[in-house]
Structure 1
């Protein structure tokens, strides 16, 4: 079994150095190692070869993709990685949108793996689904749906998303890391 662990954090000096995402990256690899997985890894900010990334996606049984939410989306460099790797993976990662082979839109994925999205947020958890809050009409899972839909499009079965909340102003990192480890062990 192989696990692809992708660190999508992009360093912003003096604002977001990437320490938490580095810890999540190492914790993820540790959990997969403890469960007998061979680790394939990518740190987007360190650069990558598109052809090697395509092979990692094709060979992974589980893809764990973690990144911070910056301005209500993934960092631009992380989105660039998705665009370049997935678009270049035509014929290996996906074969059209599914309709060209008589299926529904979004059924052209060639991968047969599982995927987990992990996010870090400055927002506190109560921002989601609570009256008077910025995202009162959305759960975190609803908000991150475009990310899990991307996985589904290429044939990856999304597992429940995990979020680290309030990481700048009221972090509870130690407890969230314990919860994350349990979440990961329960779903891989």
Structure 2
């Protein structure tokens, strides 16, 4: 089995150097190796070859995509990776939107894998689903639905999202990494 682990962090000097996301990346690789996976990896902030990335998506049994949330979305460079690689994968990763083959919209994916979104936040966990908080009316799964829907569109079965919260003001990285290890081990 093969796992594609994608580090979607984009470095911002003096603001977000990427140490936490690199640690998550390494912990993810370790967890997959412990389960016997061969590792395919990509670090978006480094150079990558689009045709090779398409092949990685095709060959992966599990796709783990992690990135920080910047201004309530993935970093622009990370979004550019998604747009470029997935659009370049037409006919290999997906064959239209599904309706061209008599199916429903979103059923044109050619992948038969599982996937997971992992993200890091400056916001505390109580920002979600807590009255009088900014995102009081949505859960983390609601927030990540556009990302997991993109996976589903490709034929990837999304597993539950994992989030690291409050990573700047009140980090509890050691405890969060333990929880993450349990989470990823359960779903891979």
Q: Structure 2 length as normaliser, TM-score?
A: 0.99
User: 1:27 aligned to 2:50?
Assistant: no
Match of 1:9 in 2: 9
Count residues with an aligned counterpart.
188
Match of 1:133 in 2: 133
CA–CA separation in structure 2 for the residues paired with 1:116 and 1:173: 20
CA–CA separation in structure 2 for the residues paired with 1:47 and 1:149: 26
Match of 1:39 in 2: 39
CA–CA separation in structure 1 for the residues paired with 2:17 and 2:68: 11
3-state SS in 2 of match to 1:30: helix
Match of 1:119 in 2: 119
Match of 2:167 in 1: 167
Match of 1:185 in 2: 185
CA–CA separation in structure 1 for the residues paired with 2:123 and 2:165: 6
CA–CA separation in structure 1 for the residues paired with 2:48 and 2:97: 26
Task: Report Cα offsets for 1:4-29 as digits up to 9, x if no partner.
Answer: 00000000000000000000000000
CA–CA separation in structure 2 for the residues paired with 1:130 and 1:177: 24
CA–CA separation in structure 1 for the residues paired with 2:147 and 2:118: 10
Match of 2:99 in 1: 99
Match of 1:108 in 2: 108
Q: Structure 1 length as normaliser, TM-score?
A: 0.99
Q: Which contiguous aligned blocks of 4+ residues in structure 1 show a shift greater than 2 angstroms?
A: none
Task: Report Cα offsets for 1:71-104 as digits up to 9, x if no partner.
Answer: 0000000000000000000000000000000111
Match of 2:88 in 1: 88
User: 1:72 aligned to 2:49?
Assistant: no
Give the C-alpha shift of residue 47 in structure 1: 1.5
In the alignment, structure 1 segments of 5+ residues that lack a partner are none
User: 1:154 aligned to 2:182?
Assistant: no
